[in-house]
């Protein structure tokens, strides 16, 4: 994929599941990498009203030579757009990471992919009285678990976070709120960064939401399900079953009536662009910050909002890199020609501190 346009600005965990591993043919048994599965029983989501499982799963990549030494490694936290282990099960991520390390394009590192989904899909990585405390889950449970159970370099300079789509949103959000935990951020094609071409209230089916009798009603179409997940994260109401949200709009006589107060609250809580003034100094403290998006995304809102975000960051003097590349919504993330290999790995090679002091 060619880059045709660039914008640059200056717990301890509980419970272990059985591990499973693959063997890379190019590496000897004594030096081969591993992918292991782990489970945590989370207290941070115990108050969920929507049936969120307390068992949260991780897929952890351990680099070649991990088992044969005592070296500590930096950690990249990956927030996927699908299943937590899909990048290993379906996309060949282990071989890709092995090759990058063996070729010397990056030093050895640990990568952890976490299950951060609610019964409706994305948690949006915030604390919610409806779905659970997902911000706390990451910084108070997952990161401490990794540091306690693996040979990590336990400081922000050696922790990076990345993700794709909703996971890209989460990577920026964790980095801007917790720069003491994550020192570098790369968001691949993030969504939810700001206002789009269409208003948010144009997306859900308000007739369905206004008459919902169960959480399953929200699953009748993709946009409705996605936006209920957004509302559960940012407009939660634990006393309003079955959706457990304050709806920011309703239909009356076929006309959409927008609640001004709730819409303002939603925008100020949800959009990355709206959070920039509050967290500007945190963002300035990051070692590295980059996000990208494809020029030919069929949902124009994503293009528009990411272009606007880079200008907003410039207005506040926040150093970052942003790139609009020649691609579409389904542009390859993994594989030899994918963006993780050609963009994310070089980024973390530059910004992660790879060795313990």
- In angstroms, the CA 178 to CA 168 distance is 15
Question: Is 285 inside any structural domain?
Answer: yes
Q: With 50 as the cut, is the pLDDT of residue 203 above it?
A: yes
pLDDT given for residue 88 in this prediction: 95
Residues 6+ apart with CB under 8 A from 311: none
* Coil vs helix vs strand at 132: strand
pLDDT given for residue 7 in this prediction: 36
pLDDT given for residue 119 in this prediction: 94
Q: What percent of the chain has pLDDT over 70?
A: 92
Read off the pLDDT band of 357 (50, 70, 90): confident
Q: With 60 as the cut, is the pLDDT of residue 5 above it?
A: no
Instruction: Judge if 180 and 280 occupy the same domain.
Output: yes
Mean pLDDT for all residues in the chain: 91
Q: With 50 as the cut, is the pLDDT of residue 123 above it?
A: yes
Instruction: Judge if 135 and 240 occupy the same domain.
Output: no
Read off the pLDDT band of 312 (50, 70, 90): very high
Q: With 90 as the cut, is the pLDDT of residue 22 above it?
A: no
Question: Is 329 inside any structural domain?
Answer: yes
Higher pLDDT pick, 43 / 9 = 43
Question: Is 356 inside any structural domain?
Answer: no
Q: How many CB atoms lie within 10 A of CB 12?
A: 10
Q: Number of structural domains, the chain?
A: 2
Question: Is 302 inside any structural domain?
Answer: yes
Instruction: Judge if 109 and 254 occupy the same domain.
Output: no
What mean pLDDT do residues 122-132 have? 97
CA angle 293, 296, 301 (to 5 degrees): 65
Two structure tokens written together for 234: 């940012």
User: Quick one: how far is CA 182 from the chain centroid?
Assistant: 13
pLDDT given for residue 64 in this prediction: 96
Last residue of a domain, one of 217, 235, 266: 266
Instruction: Judge if 88 and 131 occupy the same domain.
Output: yes
Instruction: Judge if 238 and 303 occupy the same domain.
Output: no
- 295-306 tens-digit pLDDT: 999 999 999 999
- In angstroms, the CA 267 to CA 138 distance is 23
- 176-191 tens-digit pLDDT: 999 999 999 999 999 9
Instruction: Judge if 156 and 205 occupy the same domain.
Output: no
Question: Is 258 inside any structural domain?
Answer: yes
Answer for the pair 35, 98: CB distance below 8 angstroms, yes or no.
no
- In angstroms, the CA 84 to CA 79 distance is 8
pLDDT given for residue 330 in this prediction: 76
Answer for the pair 10, 319: CB distance below 8 angstroms, yes or no.
yes
Instruction: Judge if 294 and 159 occupy the same domain.
Output: yes
What mean pLDDT do residues 272-290 have? 98
Higher pLDDT pick, 170 / 11 = 170
pLDDT given for residue 109 in this prediction: 98
Instruction: Judge if 341 and 217 occupy the same domain.
Output: no
Annotate 253-309 with three-state secondary structure: CCEEEECHHHHHHHHHHHCHHHHHHHHHHHHHCCCEEEEEEECCCCCHHHHHHHHHH
Last residue of a domain, one of 229, 250, 266: 266
Read off the pLDDT band of 10 (50, 70, 90): very low
Instruction: Judge if 291 and 313 occupy the same domain.
Output: yes
Read off the pLDDT band of 254 (50, 70, 90): confident
**Listed residue (340, 337, 347, 333) closest to 82, CA to CA:** 333
pLDDT given for residue 131 in this prediction: 97
What mean pLDDT do residues 349-355 have? 97
Any idea how long the chain is? 357
Q: With 90 as the cut, is the pLDDT of residue 331 above it?
A: no
- In angstroms, the CA 340 to CA 91 distance is 11
Answer for the pair 120, 214: CB distance below 8 angstroms, yes or no.
no
115, 152, 259 from 128: Cα distances, Å: 17, 29, 21
Question: Is 45 inside any structural domain?
Answer: yes
If you write DSSP's letter for every residue of 72-130 in order, what string do you get? -B-EEEEE-SS-TTHHHHTS-HHHHHHHHHHTTSS---EEEEE--EETTEE-TTSEETT
Is 357 exposed, middle or buried (CB count within 10 Å of its CB: 0-12, 13-18, 19+)? exposed
User: 24 is in which domain, residue-wise?
Assistant: 5-195+272-351
Instruction: Judge if 166 and 210 occupy the same domain.
Output: no
Instruction: Judge if 19 and 106 occupy the same domain.
Output: yes
Last residue of a domain, one of 215, 250, 266: 266
- 36-46 tens-digit pLDDT: 999 999 999 99
Task: Output the domain CATH number for residue 154.
Answer: 3.40.50.1820
What mean pLDDT do residues 65-77 have? 95
Read off the pLDDT band of 29 (50, 70, 90): very low
pLDDT given for residue 255 in this prediction: 93
Q: With 80 as the cut, is the pLDDT of residue 16 above it?
A: no
Question: Is 357 inside any structural domain?
Answer: no
Instruction: Judge if 288 and 162 occupy the same domain.
Output: yes
Two structure tokens written together for 307: 């272009």
What mean pLDDT do residues 308-319 have? 98
């Amino acid at each position: 994929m060619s880059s045709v346009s660039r914008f640059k600005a200056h717990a301890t965990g509980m419970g272990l599941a059985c591990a499973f591993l693959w063997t890379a043919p190019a590496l000897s048994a004594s030096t081969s990498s591993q992918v292991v599965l782990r489970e945590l029983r989370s207290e941070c989501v115990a108050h969920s009203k929507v049936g969120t499982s307390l068992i949260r799963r991780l897929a952890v990549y351990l680099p070649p030579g991990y088992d044969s030494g005592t070296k500590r490694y930096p950690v990249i936290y990956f927030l996927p757009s699908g299943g937590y282990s899909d990048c290993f099960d379906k996309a060949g991520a282990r071989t890709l990471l092995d090759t990058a390390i063996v070729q010397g394009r990056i030093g050895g590192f640990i990568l952890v992919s976490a299950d951060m989904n609610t019964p409706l899909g994305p948690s949006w990585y915030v604390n919610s009285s409806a779905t659970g405390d997902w911000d706390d889950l990451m910084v108070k449970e997952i990161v401490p678990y990794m540091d306690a159970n693996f040979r990590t370099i336990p400081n922000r300079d050696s922790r990076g976070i990345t993700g794709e789509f909703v996971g890209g949103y989460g990577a920026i959000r964790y980095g801007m709120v917790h720069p003491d935990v994550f020192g570098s951020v790369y968001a691949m094609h993030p969504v939810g960064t700001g206002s789009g071409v269409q208003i948010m209230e144009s997306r859900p089916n308000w007739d369905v939401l206004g008459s919902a009798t169960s959480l399953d009603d929200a699953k009748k179409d993709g946009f409705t399900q996605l936006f209920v997940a957004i509302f559960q994260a940012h407009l939660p109401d634990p006393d309003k079953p079955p959706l457990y949200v304050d709806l920011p709009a309703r239909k009356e006589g076929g006309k959409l009536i927008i609640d001004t107060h709730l819409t303002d609250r939603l925008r100020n809580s949800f959009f990355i662009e709206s959070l920039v003034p509050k967290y500007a100094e945190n963002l300035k403290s990051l070692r590295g910050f980059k996000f990208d998006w494809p020029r030919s995304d069929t949902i124009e809102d994503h293009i528009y909002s990411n272009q606007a975000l880079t200008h907003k960051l410039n207005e506040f003097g926040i150093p970052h890199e942003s790139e609009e590349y020649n691609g579409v919504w389904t542009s390859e993330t993994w594989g030899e020609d994918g963006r993780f290999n050609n963009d994310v790995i070089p980024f973390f090679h530059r910004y992660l501190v790879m060795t313990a002091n």
